[in-house]
Structure 1
């Protein structure tokens, strides 16, 4: 029998409706699904067909996960590894692909909505803003897993652009110290979103470097939270905000000719 194909599917940040159409289609025809139960909402499994083998990987080691996928690929045409957010971000993707490659099993990857984007959406914030920041850094704070040389938070924070910090909610004290050392001020805005888009479970906490740790403690946020530090936060409430040239009536592009201001020629 020709081995089936293993698909690594991003379930998105939590809301089952934020899975992609392609991801949902794979769930609907899967013969076996292995989902990350500690992070993925079981509601996503509503699309699994009757008779589908479904297992939770929360107690499995890497070897057990890849072994499960390899064995199911020998029985089913479509096997889904359902992961939170996007599989390419902190998803141990390469660690799981390599054993599949060695076993001669074809694999595919379906992207998912990241919690970074879902958190900004939940708070009605933007990660980029004209003439304020045009760069987003997706990173995490060093914990048990060391950071590569040149990627410490203090070094990255010196860019003073938008920082989206994964897997770091228990390290807010360390974050504050690193950002202050990089030249950020105590009153710079910080956004924390726990379980972004999860129906009935989402929490949004706003604060500053000075007080966000205490605010998160008061809200009992200690896991599954995205931290966003950005000069773009709070832009909706500012008196003046620079606008995009793309929609400026005085800006020409191939779909629209500029409208000259009074006294000017286009």
Structure 2
């Protein structure tokens, strides 16, 4: 069996229990070496063969899977592989080869970043929507998903894979409707030992990153959830009746 496992956002103890147990049993581990914390490999047994996919092509990765189809193989991706994990192309090849695989979810880096900020993305009367996106680079994005168009919603935004294009990101966000002084945050390597959190504004994102030496492995968060104004949740409001509690008089 082949297991596509989310390694979590960085800290070795933030992988799921299921993921950790499968790592212990694996005969082969193919891990995304450019992003996955190598401390996770400490879960592997001594006889396990380990491959760093940062140095491999898609064809080389799937070739290792095919060569070990009678063994327990773990494909270890950063965060949760359903977000920018490039897993579909691997699974399609395995489908054609009639090889079995399952997915094991992980904690995404955008969740780790929220924890680093002690933040809630979905505050009442501020934003009830979280947009996960990226700037177009070598990998394009659909025209309807261009940053300024998404920014027009005024929702919470989490921008991946954009650390080298921050000046342009600020321009697009402002063009889309965010005020220059709208709150923003940069979280570098969320949950890793060298995590860094920088609070700034939309206008100053690029400057703040430069001043803090951040040019890779960072998430950019934008929106009113980073401010101080919001409404109290109805869920715990004593005047609100729901399925499990009657409103107090």
Same fold per superposition (TM over 0.5): yes
Secondary structure in 2 aligned to 1:73? Answer: coil
In structure 2, the residue matched to 1:206 is 199
2:119 to 120, 125, 131: 125
Q: TM-score, normalised by structure 2?
A: 0.97
- Ranges of 4+ aligned residues in structure 1 off by more than 4 Å: none
Match of 1:142 in 2: 136
1:146 Cα deviation (Å)? 1.1
1:125·1:234 contact (CA, 8 Å) conserved in 2?
A: no
Quote the Cα distance in structure 2 between the aligned partners of 1:32 and 1:131.
48
Q: 2:16 aligned with 1:20, yes or no?
A: yes
- 1:242 aligns with 231
- Give the structure with higher Rg (CA): 1
User: Is 1:216 aligned to residue 205 of structure 2?
Assistant: no
In structure 2, runs of 5+ residues without a counterpart are: none
Q: Which runs of 5+ in 1 are unaligned?
A: 261-266
Q: Using the alignment, how far apart are the partners of 1:183 and 1:154 within structure 2?
A: 8
Q: Does structure 2 conserve the Cα–Cα contact (< 8 Å) formed by 1:189 and 1:209?
A: yes
Number of residue pairs aligned between Structure 1 and Structure 2: 249
Partner of 2:224: 231
Within 5 Å, which residues of 2 pair with 1:1-266?
5-74=1-70, 76=71, 78-199=72-193, 201-235=194-228, 238=229, 241-260=230-249
State the secondary structure of the residue aligned to 1:170. Answer: coil
TM (norm. structure 1) is 0.91
CA contact (8 A) 1:10 1:84 kept: yes
In 2: Cα distance, 1:154 partner to 1:211 partner:
17
Q: Return the offset for 1:117.
A: 0.9
